[in-house]
């Protein structure tokens, strides 16, 4: 025990002295959070809309109002010639153009089925499909109102049956609320894996490992002493991100702090075990750094459900995602922070995290013990 | 009881025999030099003696403990220092002492006393708060030695301890080793510097994992007792070397700076033989004198013979 304390104290001294690493560990996460938190935003509002109105009637103006009043579109102007339409889209002045045919008003009056066209700039497929969805919804609503008015003059002007959606936990559907827990997992994973991976290889590279092995300290005490300070540091770093997110992005905290801290610690232990494993295999700090970064960055970014839903991935990829600890942590984190859920809602995730940590720790200590003697 | 007792020590790595049937003993308080070319098996031997590597065959008792049976017990009783600096550069002098003290289980009054001892020994009083990184090489070396003997081990292993250090610091370092030995500590040291080996009470030369020679420096030099070494200061050293090489009485020749060393097969009037040969070849020599063999001569000779055998 005294030896563990000696190693931990030494490690703390080194961390404090190595201010560059310390700054990276503590500030880099908040920095990433800022960048990603503001840049990664899937909400689309105020789509620039141009209108080519061949009808210029009351009905056509009503349709345009329906688009503008929806809040999703902002009118940039009317165009007449097709050439103008091309120009507006090409120069990005308009992302969508609503084309209303002549005789629109008359067709509406005579209850003849008619079509309106929406031209959408498809250079960003995601945005385009979202914009298309908005347009479809607005036109459908407009159409229903027309039909109702025709069928029951003087009756209700809206639909008889309306869907009133209630979106729990994130009523405004702000994508930040969905992304920030993912970011916390993402950043915590990277910092924990990288810092741990470097800390052991550094000793190998400098030759101090040889001296340690000649001394009467066993691999387990050594590893314990080495990881505890980094665990504490990563934990502080994770909490810092959490508080930054609460401050900047109004991230709620609906669940229990105890559960949250417990889940974070469990996740960090697993991440550190992964770092240790890399450390026992890598030959230099450079290799360790790259492997640590790649093995934490990519899977956590792509395969954890951070951005891309796992359920829509090919089956094989879904299978692979099971070895990504962030996958489990994210479910738990979202459950605690956004839903205020208790242990029964996500205990399986914690079990998987514990399994990951145990397997990775066993592999790491196996490798280290073999290397030790 | 011998401090180190090695019998038939062998270590194989797959088909490669790194250490081959090594046997020797080191007495308490002795400074035991371990010489050998790179890859001769020095480090492998030290690692076995320190409990880091299991011997394939044979036994080694260090401080009376079998290294194969109780490597942890061995580690607690020995000190080890290598040429690769074992100190943490980002820690201060004091923090390094504190860390290694903790690793060896020292605390309280004992740690304080040992800390004072190390600071004095290394001449680092007043520099406790200096970063190890900023210490000159010689100081770092002494601090590393100090940290290796914090727990007052009776046996100390030094693996090329003076690599890359200036001559004055090397001198001071060897003074420390002499003092440790005088106080009863057993020191086993490997080195590349043959002048340093002269400090050792006894020297073992190993070649290809085998013990090629063992004895005091004087004893080792006896291999040249009936093979005189003649030093020739010639005007044209290379021509003289070639002429002497052809002589049946000359076993081998080598260039030492601008002079030529020739080893003769018999001790009968060696200077005369050389002078006559040079005169016959029409070469001028400023001086022809018999010299004492150096440890370097001995080392090269032993390694050559072991390689030929």
For residue range A269-279, what is the model confidence (pLDDT) as tens digits? 999 999 999 98
My answer on whether B141 and B248 are in the same domain is: no
With 0-12 / 13-18 / 19 or more C-beta atoms within 10 angstroms meaning exposed / middle / buried, residue A349 is buried
Nearest to A332 by CA among A322, A343, A323, A324: A343
My answer on whether B161 and B207 are in the same domain is: yes
Residues of chain A contacting B88 with CB distance shorter than 8 Å: 10, 14, 206, 208
Which tops the pLDDT comparison, A149 or B21?
B21
**In chain B, whose CA is at the least distance from the CA of A225?**
B103
With 0-12 / 13-18 / 19 or more C-beta atoms within 10 angstroms meaning exposed / middle / buried, residue B162 is buried
Check CB contact under 8 Å for B52 and A214.
yes
- Domain with B174, as residue range(s), is 28-50+68-215
pLDDT at A173: 64
**CA distances to B79, B106, B117, B151, B181 from B110, in Å:** 17, 6, 11, 9, 22
SS3 content of chain A, % helix, strand, coil (to 5): 70, 5, 25
- Asked, for residue B23, whether it belongs to a domain, the answer is no
Chain A contact present for B54, CB below 8 A: yes
Residue at a domain's end among B215, B250, B281: B215
My answer on whether B128 and B251 are in the same domain is: no
My answer on whether B159 and B250 are in the same domain is: no
Phi (first) and psi of residue A256, to 5 degrees: -90, 135
Chain B contact present for A284, CB below 8 A: no
Q: Does the predicted interface ipTM exceed a cut of 0.85? A: no
Residue at a domain's end among B215, B238, B270: B215
pLDDT at A34: 81
pLDDT at A268: 94
Residues of chain A contacting B101 with CB distance shorter than 8 Å: 6
Q: Integer distance in angstroms from the first to the last C-alpha of chain A?
A: 21
- Asked, for residue B238, whether it belongs to a domain, the answer is yes
Q: What mean pLDDT comes out for the span B104-108?
A: 89
Q: What percent of chain A has pLDDT over 70?
A: 93
Distance (Å, whole) CA A181 – CA A264: 11
Could you tell me the two tokens for B102?
């903790």
With 0-12 / 13-18 / 19 or more C-beta atoms within 10 angstroms meaning exposed / middle / buried, residue A343 is middle
Strands B229-234 and B285-291: antiparallel
**CA distances to A70, A284, B139, B176, B182 from B118, in Å:** 80, 33, 11, 11, 17
- Asked, for residue B261, whether it belongs to a domain, the answer is yes
My answer on whether B151 and B112 are in the same domain is: yes
My answer on whether B43 and B190 are in the same domain is: yes
My answer on whether B209 and B259 are in the same domain is: no
**Which domain CATH number covers B114?**
3.40.50.300
Chain B contact present for A215, CB below 8 A: yes
Chain B contact present for A22, CB below 8 A: no
Distance (Å, whole) CA B221 – CA B215: 9
Residue at a domain's end among B198, B215, B232: B215
pLDDT at A110: 83
Candidates A5, A208, A210; nearest CB to B102: A5
**CA distances to A224, A302, B255, B297 from B292, in Å:** 57, 75, 16, 9
Residues of chain B contacting A17 with CB distance shorter than 8 Å: 90-91, 131
Chain A contact present for B130, CB below 8 A: no
**CA distances to A11, A24, A99, A207, B163 from A203, in Å:** 11, 20, 69, 6, 20
Give, as one character, the DSSP assignment of residue A96.
E
Predicted TM-score (pTM) of the model is: 0.76
User: What is the CATH class of A47-151?
Assistant: alpha beta
My answer on whether B131 and B146 are in the same domain is: yes
Q: Which of A3, A4, A6 to mutate to test the interface with B (most CBs of B within 10 A)?
A: A6
Contacts of residue A253, defined as CB under 8 A and 6 or more positions apart, other chains included, come to A246, A260, A337
Give, as one character, the DSSP assignment of residue A48.
E
My answer on whether B296 and B234 are in the same domain is: yes
Count of domains observed in chain B: 2
Q: Average pLDDT of chain B?
A: 89
Distance (Å, whole) CA A2 – CA B151: 15
User: Residue A66 in contact with residue A95, Cβ under 8 Å?
Assistant: no
pLDDT at A156: 58
Residues of chain A contacting B90 with CB distance shorter than 8 Å: 13-14, 17-18
**Which domain CATH number covers B283?**
3.30.70.100
SS in 3 state form for chain B? Answer: CCCEEEEEEEEEECCEEEEEEEEEEECCCCEEEEECCCCCCHHHHHHHHCCCCCCCEEEEEECCEECCCCHHHHHHHEEEEECCCCCCCCCEHHHHHHHHHHHCCCCHHHHHHHHHHHHHHCCCCCCCCCEHHHCCHHHHHHHHHHHHCCCCCCEEEEECCCCCCCHHHHHHHHHHHHHHHHCCCEEEEECCCHHHHCCCCEEEEEECCEEEEEECHHHHHHHHCCCCEEEEEECCHHHHHHHHHCCCCEEEEEEECCEEEEEECCCCCHHHHHHHHHHHCCCCEEEEEEECCCHHHHHHHHHHHHHHC
Q: Which of residues 98-127 of B touch A (CB under 8 A)?
A: 98-105, 107
Which residues does residue B215 pair with via DSSP β-bridges, in sequence order? Answer: B203
Residues of chain A contacting B100 with CB distance shorter than 8 Å: 215
- Asked, for residue B6, whether it belongs to a domain, the answer is no
Candidates B52, B76, B95; nearest CB to A213: B52
Check CB contact under 8 Å for B86 and A3.
no
My answer on whether B234 and B184 are in the same domain is: no
Residues of chain B contacting A6 with CB distance shorter than 8 Å: 98-99, 101-103
Contacts of residue B168, defined as CB under 8 A and 6 or more positions apart, other chains included, come to B138
Top-confidence range, A18-27, A308-317, B105-114, B265-274: B105-114
- Asked, for residue B5, whether it belongs to a domain, the answer is no
My answer on whether B40 and B125 are in the same domain is: yes
Distance (Å, whole) CA A39 – CA A142: 34
**In chain A, whose CA is at the least distance from the CA of B52?**
A373
Q: What is the pLDDT of residues A29-81, one digit of tens each?
A: 778 788 877 776 666 778 889 999 988 888 889 889 988 888 888 888 888 88
pLDDT at B306: 78
Q: Output the CA angle B74-A225-B113, nearest 5 degrees.
A: 60
Q: What mean pLDDT comes out for the span B15-31?
A: 93
State the smallest CA–CA distance between residue B95 and chain A in angstroms: 7
Q: What mean pLDDT comes out for the span A115-142?
A: 85
Domain boundaries, chain A: 2-40+174-372, 47-151
- Asked, for residue B301, whether it belongs to a domain, the answer is yes
Distance (Å, whole) CA B260 – CA B232: 5
My answer on whether B42 and B143 are in the same domain is: yes
Chain B contact present for A210, CB below 8 A: yes
Task: Kindly tell me if the per-residue pLDDT of B255 is higher than 80.
Answer: yes
Task: Kindly tell me if the per-residue pLDDT of A24 is higher than 80.
Answer: no
If one counts every other C-beta atom within 10 angstroms of the C-beta of residue A311, the result is 7
Q: What is the pLDDT of residues A48-61, one digit of tens each?
A: 899 999 888 888 89
Q: Is A168 helix (H, G, I), strand (E, B) or coil?
A: coil
Confidence category of residue A171, pLDDT binned at 50, 70, 90: low
User: Residue B22 in contact with residue B6, Cβ under 8 Å?
Assistant: yes
């Amino acid at each position: 025990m005294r030896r563990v304390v000696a190693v931990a104290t030494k490690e703390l001294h080194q961390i404090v002295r190595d201010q560059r690493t310390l700054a990276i560990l503590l500030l880099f996460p908040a920095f990433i959070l800022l960048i990603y938190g503001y840049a990664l935003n899937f909400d689309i509002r105020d789509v620039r809309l141009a209108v080519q109105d061949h009808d210029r009637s009351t009905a056509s103006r009503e349709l345009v109002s329906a688009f503008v009043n929806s809040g999703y579109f902002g009118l940039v102007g009317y165009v007449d010639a097709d050439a103008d339409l091309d120009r507006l889209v090409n120069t990005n002045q308009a992302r969508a153009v609503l084309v209303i045919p002549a005789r629109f008003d008359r067709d509406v009056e005579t209850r003849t089925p008619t079509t309106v066209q929406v031209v959408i700039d498809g250079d960003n497929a995601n945005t385009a499909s979202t914009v298309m969805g908005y347009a479809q919804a607005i036109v459908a609503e407009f159409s229903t109102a027309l039909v109702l008015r025709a069928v029951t003059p003087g009756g209700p002007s809206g639909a008889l049956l309306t869907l009133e959606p209630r979106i729990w936990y994130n009523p405004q559907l702000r994508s930040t609320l969905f992304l920030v827990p993912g970011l916390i997992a993402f950043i915590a994973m990277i910092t924990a894996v990288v810092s741990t991976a470097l800390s052991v290889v550094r000793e190998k590279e400098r030759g101090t490992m040889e001296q340690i092995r000649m001394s009467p300290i066993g691999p387990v005490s050594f590893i314990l002493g080495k990881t505890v300070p980094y665990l504490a540091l990563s934990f502080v770093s994770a909490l810092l991100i959490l508080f930054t997110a609460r401050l900047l992005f109004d991230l709620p905290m609906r669940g229990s702090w105890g559960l949250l801290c417990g889940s974070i610690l469990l996740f960090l232990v697993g991440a550190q075990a992964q770092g240790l494993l890399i450390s026992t295999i890598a030959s230099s700090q450079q290799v360790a750094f790259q492997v640590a970064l790649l093995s934490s960055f990519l899977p956590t970014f792509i395969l954890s459900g951070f951005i891309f839903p796992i359920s829509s991935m090919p089956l094989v990829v879904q299978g692979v995602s099971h070895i990504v600890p962030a996958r489990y942590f994210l479910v738990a984190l979202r459950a605690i922070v956004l839903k205020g859920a208790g242990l029964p809602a996500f205990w399986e995730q914690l079990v998987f995290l514990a399994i990951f940590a145990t397997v990775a720790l066993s592999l790491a200590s196996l490798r280290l013990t073999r290397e030790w003697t | 009881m011998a401090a180190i007792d090695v019998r038939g020590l062998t270590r194989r790595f797959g088909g490669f025999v790194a250490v081959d049937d090594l046997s020797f003993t080191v007495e308490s308080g002795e400074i035991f030099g371990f010489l050998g070319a790179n890859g001769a098996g020095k480090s492998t031997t030290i690692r076995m003696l320190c409990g880091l590597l299991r011997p394939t065959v044979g036994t080694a008792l260090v401080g009376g403990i079998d290294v194969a049976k109780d490597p942890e017990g061995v580690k607690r009783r020995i000190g080890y220092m290598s040429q690769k600096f074992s100190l943490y550069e980002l820690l201060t002098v004091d923090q390094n002492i504190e860390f290694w003290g903790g690793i060896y289980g020292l605390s309280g009054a004992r740690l304080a006393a040992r800390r004072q001892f190390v600071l004095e020994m290394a001449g680092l009083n007043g520099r406790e708060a200096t970063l190890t990184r900023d210490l000159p090489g010689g100081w770092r070396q002494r601090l590393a030695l100090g940290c290796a003997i914090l727990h007052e081990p009776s046996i100390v292993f030094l693996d090329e301890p003076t690599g890359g250090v200036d001559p004055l610091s090397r001198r001071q370092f060897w003074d420390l080793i002499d003092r440790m030995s005088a106080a009863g500590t057993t020191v086993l040291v490997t080195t590349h510097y043959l002048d340093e080996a002269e400090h050792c009470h006894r020297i073992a030369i190993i070649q290809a994992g085998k013990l090629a020679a063992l004895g005091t420096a004087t004893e080792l030099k006896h291999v040249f007792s009936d093979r005189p070494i003649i030093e020739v200061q010639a005007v044209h050293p290379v021509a003289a070397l070639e002429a002497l090489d052809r002589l049946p009485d000359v076993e081998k020749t080598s260039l030492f700076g601008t002079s030529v060393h020739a080893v003769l097969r018999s001790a009968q009037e060696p200077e005369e033989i050389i002078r006559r040969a040079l005169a016959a070849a029409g070469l001028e020599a400023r001086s022809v004198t018999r010299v004492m063999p150096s440890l370097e001569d001995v080392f090269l000779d032993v390694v050559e013979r072991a390689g030929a055998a």
